[in-house]
Structure 1
Amino acid sequence: MKKIGLTLLTAFVGGAMALGVYKVIENKYSDNMSLEDKQKVYFASNRTVNPSTVVSSAGSVDFTQAAAEVTPAVVYIRTTYAAKSSGGGSQDQFEQMFGQMFGQRMRPQGPQMASGSGVIISPDGYIVTNNHVVAKAEKITIVTNDHRSFEAKVIGTDPNTDLALIKINATNLPIVKLGNSDAVRVGEWVLAVGNPFKLNSTVTAGIVSAKGRQIDIIGKDDDDENPYPVNQREPTLKKGIESFIQTDAAINPGNSGGALVNTNGELIGINAAIASHTGSYEGYGFAIPVNLAKKVLNDIKKFGVVKRGYVGISFADLSNSDMAQDIKTDKTNGLYVSSVLAGGGAEQAGIKPGDIITKVEGNVVYESSDLQERVGRLQPGDKIALTVLRDGSEKNFSVTLKADAPVAKTAAVSKSASELFNKMGASFQPLSQAQKAKFKVNSGVVVTQVRPGGMFDDTEIPVGSIITSINKQPINSVADMDKVITSLRNGRLIITGYYPDGGSFNNMFEVQ
């Protein structure tokens, strides 16, 4: 009996200590934690909805609990853009091919408005949305399900996946639980949650129609005359990473950036586009798989930019019958390796031009998205298993992904701290000791991303530059930048620092 009592006492004390530690972490939500760790802390001690309070209306196919849990964490995003002169110019590619997913953009002179959706994924205010929802926005306003309004700042964007991470200053927010998009099956029920036509908190139901769908919308060039739609030199990622979940759940303008969830209320995708001749729902919607989004968002949060690894090949998709005919093969699936990058991971592993990649991590490759999406989740230095067909037999290779210097650009400008931060159009990371020693400075942040159209882009402050002070105040973190911007009084920003080659700059911006 004594042993049993001692065992029970030990278990009780251990459980209490674990709960106490969890509570300490939960209260702090340390910014050093990954987004997934913050989610684990949140769901360890929170339950948005008590299942006993939800009345089932459709037996085993019941969406009430999932809808009740997810809706509070899906936000309405309203963006403001600089005035543009009316006139010609081609429509934005997203508007032209897939309808105005982020709302009706107005073309006349004066500030332009647009709208979309976002999903809260961390209780301290991190929100995932689409890059095209917030790209070039000067002001980003978030309206939560309980009608509170916040200004958001862009933490970073990734045009290659059409994802963006933004943040508002708030605590104890409801969040959507991150799910597992690999476990999603064609035919299963899903819900799309967002703000179509500015109708807040709208839930629609449908099924997963297909997976791994490539629709050639991200990064597509109008003048691209490539005869093979999925033939690309992998390191450039010219056409982006596309491996969409296709659904027939009704998605309309304003749903972009919203949540695609399973019946357990778990986030499996970020709604991104619709295939439509009219700009409204016609039965086909596409969402970015959450497993790809997890890697992208954590990189943006940690580094300010996405760190990608590359196999080091140029390839063509054999699902294109013309391509298969040209290389005289009867294979109807797989990726034909047209060239291998010197010094890349593929070359070092032994992959050669003329090989046909048939499997990735043991999974059959039907088209390029099967490779791109898997590689897109990994970091430089990670290994990936590839199976190739050579001389009539399959061979297995372990390829170590190599880093490729990211070519990032982006941005925006305004009166509040968040607007100004967005107008600067850049992402930042604290300097390492090695960087401080190299530039002989005691303070600073490094520019990890420059978004087109912002202050940094306009004045040609490139990625890799060092910002040492703003308005003569030393800068060591994004928090320091926020403090300086918040206390801005004369409408001017004087940014001092060094270019990547060591040359100094001292640029002044007039804030209007």
Structure 2
Amino acid sequence: MSASPHRRPSRPAPLLVTAVLCVTSVLCAAVLVGGCSQASAPRPSAPSGQEPARAMAPTAANELEDDYLTVIRNVLPSVVQIEAGESLGSGVVYDDKGHIVTNAHVVGDARSFAVTPATGEAPLTARLVFSYPEQDLAVIRLESVPDGLEAAKFGDSSTVQVGQIVLAMGSPLGLSSSVTQGIVSGIGRTVSESSRDGTPGATIGNMVQTSAPINPGNSGGALVNMESEVIGIPTLAAVDPTLGEGQAPGIGFAIPVSMVRTVADQIIRTGRVTDSGRAALGITGRTVLNDDYVPSGVAVVEVAAGGAAQKAGLRAGDIITRVEDEEITTITSLAEALASRRPGDKVTVTYERGGSRRTAEVTLGEI
């Protein structure tokens, strides 16, 4: 589905969130840091019966710290910094042939890149293989693969659970090889990226929500579980409307590893994406306003020949107002309603034609 002007859980209501892309400028590497300390009063000794508990606490903390250090040693060498013109982001080494997966918005319109490995070598040159903005993923390839460069281990999306400890690795604000920590806060989120240059951003389904800080420059990096497996590509941070353009603390989103592998494998094998796995109506649409200038539906501007909408009887001029039980008011809400569905799914589409309300059973096609 394409859109003129102008992401939902597996089935719960769509997530209503404004999100910003986490790519930064190469000129924004200066960071102000500060600290404070405070003397503490001596603690009274605990009753003797509490000594075993006190003795166990440092052991548990040390074990968790050791686990963190192991994961970082295993994965961080596979996370790189990518400079693409004026922008800077992150990437993950995908295989031993020098392929690196990142976000499409990190590569932008560039075709060549400076890639700096976490292990500290001088920047390497890479070329674009293919960018797929519809899912905000891209693959680039190093022109020369240095000795010792190792591919990351990619996990299984079906095993990701809310509450899992995760680490986010990348180059926030140009600080390469940075690591932040949090948990999986939610799964199955559908999120729409903020618009760029007047063009609507991608709407991505089944994203992993995390409390690990995702800052500008983290885009394209690695969201990693405690088994040293990449489970997602950090891409977005939510915006708190009360803070203007400020990010909402502790709400970030990563593209799930299942989609990363699906897209990257196709790009590496064929040089493009041949099977998106994403549902489409097969229309070009635009948001329409009611008499009170409130968005109230999506007008069908054009129907693709042989597409899902045409086969179901929809035509130019129809105004789509609902998909199943989800109200459609904008082109973005339509994209969100379709994002977590699959080609071949059957849905009921409610629309208006000539002032009367109608429904159609649509077998969804593919983007």
TM (normalized to structure 2)?
0.60
Deviation at 1:120, TM superposition (A): 0.5
Match of 2:76 in 1: 71
Please show how residues 310-321 of structure 1 align to structure 2 within 5 Å. Answer: 310-313=280-283
Residue 215 and residue 311 in structure 1: after superposition, are their counterparts in 2 closer, same or farther (change >3 A)?
closer
Amino acid corresponding to residue 256 of structure 1 in structure 2: S
Contact in 1 for aligned 2:171/2:178 (Cα 8 Å): yes
Deviates more, 1:137-146 or 1:122-131: 137-146
Match of 1:285 in 2: 252
Q: Identify which of 292, 295, 303 aligns with 1:341.
A: 303
Segments of 5+ residues of structure 1 without an aligned counterpart are: 1-54, 82-112, 223-237, 328-335, 360-365, 376-382, 404-512
Alignment of 1:387 with 2:364, yes or no, is no
Deviation at 1:367, TM superposition (A): 7.0
Q: Identify which of 149, 153, 159 aligns with 2:133.
A: 159
Partners in 1 of 2:311 and 2:286 — Cα distance?
Answer: 20
Residue 147 and residue 281 in structure 1: after superposition, are their counterparts in 2 closer, same or farther (change >3 A)?
farther
Partners in 2 of 1:56 and 1:119 — Cα distance?
Answer: 29
Alignment of 1:124 with 2:97, yes or no, is yes
Match of 2:203 in 1: 241
Partners in 1 of 2:259 and 2:114 — Cα distance?
Answer: 26
State the structure with more CA Rg: 1
Partners in 1 of 2:293 and 2:267 — Cα distance?
Answer: 37
SS at match of 1:128: strand
SS at match of 2:134: coil
Contact in 1 for aligned 2:283/2:304 (Cα 8 Å): no
Deviation at 1:315, TM superposition (A): 7.5
Deviation at 1:284, TM superposition (A): 2.6
Partners in 1 of 2:195 and 2:273 — Cα distance?
Answer: 16
Deviation at 1:118, TM superposition (A): 0.8
Give the number of the structure with larger relative contact order, counting CA–CA contacts within 8 Å between residues 6 or more apart: 2
Contact in 2 for aligned 1:272/1:287 (Cα 8 Å): yes
Partners in 2 of 1:316 and 1:284 — Cα distance?
Answer: 30
Partners in 2 of 1:279 and 1:193 — Cα distance?
Answer: 21
Match of 1:333 in 2: none
Deviation at 1:114, TM superposition (A): 4.1
What is the alpha-carbon root mean square deviation over aligned residues? 4.3
Deviation at 1:263, TM superposition (A): 2.5
Residue 212 and residue 182 in structure 1: after superposition, are their counterparts in 2 closer, same or farther (change >3 A)?
farther
Amino acid corresponding to residue 267 of structure 2 in structure 1: I
Contact in 2 for aligned 1:160/1:218 (Cα 8 Å): no
Partners in 1 of 2:293 and 2:344 — Cα distance?
Answer: 26
Partners in 1 of 2:293 and 2:88 — Cα distance?
Answer: 41
Contact in 1 for aligned 2:133/2:202 (Cα 8 Å): yes
1:46-65 deviation digits (Å, cap 9, x = unpaired): xxxxxxxxx98356995444
Match of 2:150 in 1: 174
Deviation at 1:146, TM superposition (A): 1.9
Partners in 2 of 1:388 and 1:397 — Cα distance?
Answer: 6
Identical-pair percentage: 32
Residue 216 and residue 316 in structure 1: after superposition, are their counterparts in 2 closer, same or farther (change >3 A)?
farther
Residue 400 and residue 389 in structure 1: after superposition, are their counterparts in 2 closer, same or farther (change >3 A)?
closer
Residue 256 and residue 187 in structure 1: after superposition, are their counterparts in 2 closer, same or farther (change >3 A)?
same
Contact in 1 for aligned 2:172/2:218 (Cα 8 Å): yes
Amino acid corresponding to residue 177 of structure 1 in structure 2: K
- Total equivalences in the alignment: 277
| Structure with more strand by fraction | 2
Amino acid corresponding to residue 106 of structure 2 in structure 1: V
Alignment of 1:258 with 2:221, yes or no, is yes
Amino acid corresponding to residue 254 of structure 1 in structure 2: G
Contact in 2 for aligned 1:180/1:268 (Cα 8 Å): yes
TM (normalized to structure 1)?
0.45
Residue 324 and residue 120 in structure 1: after superposition, are their counterparts in 2 closer, same or farther (change >3 A)?
same
Match of 1:424 in 2: none
Residue 399 and residue 163 in structure 1: after superposition, are their counterparts in 2 closer, same or farther (change >3 A)?
closer
Amino acid corresponding to residue 311 of structure 1 in structure 2: L
1:104-130 deviation digits (Å, cap 9, x = unpaired): xxxxxxxxx543211011111110112
1:183-227 deviation digits (Å, cap 9, x = unpaired): 4344433211112233332221112334423244155727xxxxx
Segments of 5+ residues of structure 2 without an aligned counterpart are: 1-59, 326-332, 352-358
Amino acid corresponding to residue 190 of structure 1 in structure 2: V
Partners in 2 of 1:74 and 1:60 — Cα distance?
Answer: 21
Contact in 1 for aligned 2:93/2:100 (Cα 8 Å): yes
Partners in 1 of 2:364 and 2:137 — Cα distance?
Answer: 27
Match of 1:144 in 2: 117
Amino acid corresponding to residue 281 of structure 2 in structure 1: V
Partners in 2 of 1:370 and 1:62 — Cα distance?
Answer: 40
